[in-house]
Amino acid sequence: MPIVIYGIKNCDTMKKARAWLDKHGVEYNFHDYKTAGIDKDRLARWSKVAGWEVLLNRAGTTFRKLPDADKASLTEKKAMALMLAQPSMIKRPVLEIGGKLLVGFKPESYAAAIK
């Protein structure tokens, strides 16, 4: 099963995750949200596995720049619409590996997943 890492090319955390994968000789495909977007069904699957609260990058600039009305009283439906409209609001990276889903980058989680 191919390994796919999802994110944005210039994100510092993405650079760390990709460097870690490269250093450990892990072959992967990179899906750039900026150029390829994200499809609704994939995002919905991720939400079921990880939870929309985990997927939504509230610390990012894109989310922080939203009007307060858009940030208030978030529901899964509202958060999913925001992430689909602006995929840079999805926490990075998201790694699909062997049927598992990892959100964010922690070297120890990556090491355990590639065994």
Give the residue numbers annotated as catalytic, written as ranges: 11
Rounded Cα distance between 31 and 92, Å, is 11
Rounded Cα distance between 64 and 111, Å, is 32
CA 40 from centroid of its chain's CA atoms: 13
CA 24 from centroid of its chain's CA atoms: 21
